[in-house]
Each structure stands twice: as structure tokens, then as C-alpha cells.
Amino acid sequence: MFSSAALRNLTLAGLVGIAVFTTAAQAETIEVPVGSQGQVAEASHLRGKRQDQVNQELGEPISIQGPVGTPAITRWEYADFFVYFENDRVLHTVAKHHG
């Protein structure tokens, strides 16, 4: 049978191992509120325009996410910014964070 000192050492070693594992497994998430990200000067004129108008002016987006929720919010991704739509109208443009 194990002595109390040996059990204590095993328990301590196990706790240290768990602490190291959980610390290594955690990832840092940084969230920046949309209002703090800055508006895109070259896309600020888009507010209120329809999706087809944006498509004519800027071309096809790199990707499209959504629609999600009520009212329906859709996000179009371009090289330097995102365009957010509420239903079919531009709600906001947000600069991409580079670096």
C-alpha cells in the first residue's frame, strides 16, 4: 500500500499535470465591438443601398454569411472591409483588422 507521503506526491503531480494541460488548451479570444472597429471611408457611401446596387458598384464579395435572425442580417466580405445588410439594405460597413 502507498504511504500518505507517496499519495500526497502522486496527487500533487496529478494536479500539476492537469493545471499544465488546461493552461495549454486555453485560447485567447479578443472581441472588438463593431462601433470601435471604424467605418470604411471608401464604402461609407453605401449605407441604405440595396444588395444589387452594392454588387454593381463593388462586384462579387469574397464570401457571404447569413442571413441570420430577425430582421435578417447578412455579411458580405470584401478585401478590406465587411458590408452588413439588414434584409436587402446596407446597414453598416466595417474595416477589416489587418495584423
Q: What is the CATH number of the domain that holds 43?
A: 3.30.1450
pLDDT at residue 40, rounded to an integer = 60
Please report whether residue 81 resides in a domain: yes
pTM: predicted TM-score of the whole model, two decimal places: 0.59
Give me the torsion for CA of 8, 14, 19, 25, rounded to 10°: 180
Find the domain containing 66 and state its range: 34-95
pLDDT at residue 55, rounded to an integer = 96
Residue 76 burial by Cβ neighbours in a 10 Å radius (0-12, 13-18, 19+): buried
Please report whether residue 8 resides in a domain: no
Please list the alpha-helical segments (H only) found in 2-50: 4-25
Please report whether residue 88 resides in a domain: yes
pLDDT at residue 13, rounded to an integer = 55
Q: Cell 469574397 appears where? A: 62
pLDDT at residue 70, rounded to an integer = 94
Please report whether residue 17 resides in a domain: no
Q: What is the pLDDT of residues 12-52, one digit of tens each?
A: 555 555 554 554 556 565 555 555 455 565 677 899 999 99
